[in-house]
């Protein structure tokens, strides 16, 4: 897999995501993590560090050494394995495995996404939960998803192949840069099937971390699958 988060992306990640929610995410996850939590694509620890501060035993997996290097500035107490979240194993079992901020889409094949569900299930104790936050696939060929003085985000989507490319144009130090990252869009129903194949069942689905109802108008969802 390509490490799309190396170098400047890791360096500026916390700055670029400063406006994203933290406390609502931690409030949602903490009650599920009493038996320990494993974050897939733990990154800079934006969620893992405050979750650990709530007394949850947190471990992580991440592909990017540079992102984990930023985490290590914040905490040296969270064990992290460097590797592909679809296949990398860590020691122990957990009551919670979680994957947030559309990161399941970074796995660009159906096989890889299904393997990620199987890997999550393999780390869960009976009754444990796998929580995923992800967007609902867009039906438009092109969509501007962010527009500001310093960032323009454009999604390019091919519905036939479910391939999605997010183009990020950022203004840094007076110069515009471009980063284009490939994804694979996936519907809630397809994710439910992946969970079933991994031995899990859907427990609940919400539009966001505030537990607003998931409806046909929802543009994203937070889904919780449970091991029997």
CA-nearest of 143, 3, 145, 124 to 62 is 3
Pinpoint the residues of the chain covered by CATH 2.20.25.
138-185
**65 SS3 class:** helix
What pLDDT, on a 0 to 100 scale, did the predictor assign at position 203?
98
- Topology adopted by domain 8-136+186-226: Rossmann fold (3.40.50)
What pLDDT, on a 0 to 100 scale, did the predictor assign at position 144?
87
Dist. CA 227–CA 72, nearest whole Å:
31
Q: Which residue positions in the chain have pLDDT lower than 70?
A: none
What pLDDT, on a 0 to 100 scale, did the predictor assign at position 177?
87
Pinpoint the residues of the chain covered by CATH 3.40.50.150.
8-136+186-226
What pLDDT, on a 0 to 100 scale, did the predictor assign at position 9?
87
In this structure, which CATH number among 1.10.287, 2.60.120, 2.20.25, 3.40.190 belongs to the domain 138-185? 2.20.25
Per-residue pLDDT reduced to its tens digit, 184-206? 999 999 999 999 999 999 999 99
What pLDDT, on a 0 to 100 scale, did the predictor assign at position 111?
98
């Amino acid at each position: 897999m390509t490490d799309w988060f190396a170098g400047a992306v890791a360096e500026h990640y916390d700055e670029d995501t400063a406006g994203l929610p933290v406390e609502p995410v931690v409030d949602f996850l903490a009650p599920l993590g009493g038996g320990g939590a494993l974050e897939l694509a733990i990154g800079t620890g934006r969620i893992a560090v405050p979750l650990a501060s709530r007394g949850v035993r947190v471990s992580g997996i991440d592909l990017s050494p540079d992102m984990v290097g930023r985490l290590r500035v914040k905490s040296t107490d969270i064990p992290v394995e460097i590797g592909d979240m679809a296949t990398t194993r860590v020691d122990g079992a957990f009551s919670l495995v979680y994957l947030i901020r559309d990161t399941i889409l970074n796995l660009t094949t159906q096989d890889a996404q299904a393997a990620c569900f199987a890997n999550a299930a393999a780390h869960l104790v009976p009754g444990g939960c796998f929580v995923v936050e992800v967007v609902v696939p867009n039906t438009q060929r092109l969509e501007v998803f962010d527009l500001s003085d310093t960032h323009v985000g454009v999604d390019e989507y091919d519905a036939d192949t479910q391939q999605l490319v997010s183009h990020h144009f950022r203004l840094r130090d007076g110069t515009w840069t471009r980063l284009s990252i490939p994804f694979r869009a996936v519907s809630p129903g397809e994710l439910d099937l992946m969970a079933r194949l991994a031995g899990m069942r859907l427990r609940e689905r919400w539009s966001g971390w505030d537990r607003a109802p998931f409806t046909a108008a929802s543009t994203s969802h937070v889904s919780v699958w449970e091991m029997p």
